[in-house]
Structure 1
Amino acid sequence: MGKLLGIDYGEKRIGIAISDEQQNYVFPGETIENSSSTFKEIKDIVEKENIELIIVGFPVNMKGQESAQSEKTKKFAQAIQDRTKISVKLEDERLTSQLAKRLLKTVPGKKKQKGNIDRQSAVLILESYMEKNRK
């Protein structure tokens, strides 16, 4: 086993989460501003953390249908795979942002920062993938 990288892709910000080596726990990472340096930043994280698989949240509607954002996410995931040479899988991310907002309401302090929602969404996406793929 090895570490997994969870990504909540957004047009403005990208939330990051990383699992431990045994894939038992997920830790929030940073929030990356979506810019011209995005792929370099992700590649740096992959190399620094020795990531073996990348999980990108895949937006579909409540009926499971794809949208314009789904297509952008597919292109983003493919670009990450091409640049890092690490396999990328898509994980249904329905309701993760809403759940992340609810979870952060229970945390004291600066809970309304948008980056926190992106990171927490990445955690939920990665936890969902790990739960479905437990051996």
Structure 2
Amino acid sequence: MRLMAFDYGRRRIGIAVGDGLTGRARGLVTLATNHPGLQERLRVLVAEWRPEAFVVGWPTRDDGQPTALGPAIRGFGEALGREFGLPVYWADERLSSHLGRERIRRRGRDPGLDAHAAAVILEGWLTENTRNA
């Protein structure tokens, strides 16, 4: 199963793709949330990668409560599901940016920290859901 993951932030959205068979993911791109062509860019990425579902990082505080960005993220994920008619799964995103920093390439084209964080989110979701399947 091919999945597309999102690390949604106030300024940027990291996007990654991964596969349930391998349990691996890779960052694709980081996009500005306020970019006027964001919706079209998402349509192009979904058409190109043809995911079967989306995984959206869900931020929580140490006490398990959602962060202030929670409502915006929930709205983004629900809009994705409506727009593309695909299921949306939610994944714990704590430490994803920290772990994403370890993936940053020092040379060549790098999709950005947020895309690496999305890959971390997706791999965590795949690990959790493969183990419980």
Residue correspondence of structure 1 range 86-105 to structure 2 within 5 A: 86-101=86-101, 103-104=102-103
Instruction: With the length of structure 2 as denominator, give the TM-score of the two structures.
Output: 0.85
Measured after TM superposition, the shift of residue 23 of structure 1 is 4.5
Is the aligned partner of 1:121 residue 2:117?
Answer: yes
Q: How does 1:22-61 map to 2 (within 5 A)?
A: 22-34=21-33, 35-61=35-61
1:132 partnered with 2:131: no
Unaligned runs of 5+ in 1: none
Structure 2 distance, partners of 1:63, 1:122, is 22
Pick which of 120-129 and 20-29 moved more.
20-29
2: CA distance, partners of 1:39 / 1:11: 16
Tell me the CA shift for residue 24 of structure 1: 2.9
Identity of aligned residues (%): 26
Q: Scaled by the length of structure 1, what TM-score is found?
A: 0.84
User: Which residue of the partner structure matches residue 66 of structure 1?
Assistant: 66
Q: Say whether the 8 Å CA contact 1:39–1:83 is kept in structure 2.
A: no
Distance 1:45 1:62, change over 3 A: same
Cα displacement string for residues 19-78 of structure 1 (whole angstroms, at most 9, x for unaligned residues): 137343212111112123223222221221111010000111111111220111001111
Shift of 1:104: 4.5
Amino acid at match of 2:43: K
Deviation at 1:119, TM superposition (A): 1.0
The answer to whether the 8 A contact 1:8-1:122 is kept is yes
CA distance in 2, matches of 1:80, 1:108: 32
**Which runs of 5 or more structure 2 residues have no equivalent in the other structure?**
none
Aligned residues: 129
The offset of 1:10, in angstroms, is: 1.3
> Runs ≥4 in structure 1, deviation > 6 angstroms?
none
State which drifts further: 6-15 or 33-42: 33-42
Report the Cα offset of residue 83 of structure 1.
0.9
Pairwise CA distance, 1:96:
1.0
SS at match of 2:28: strand
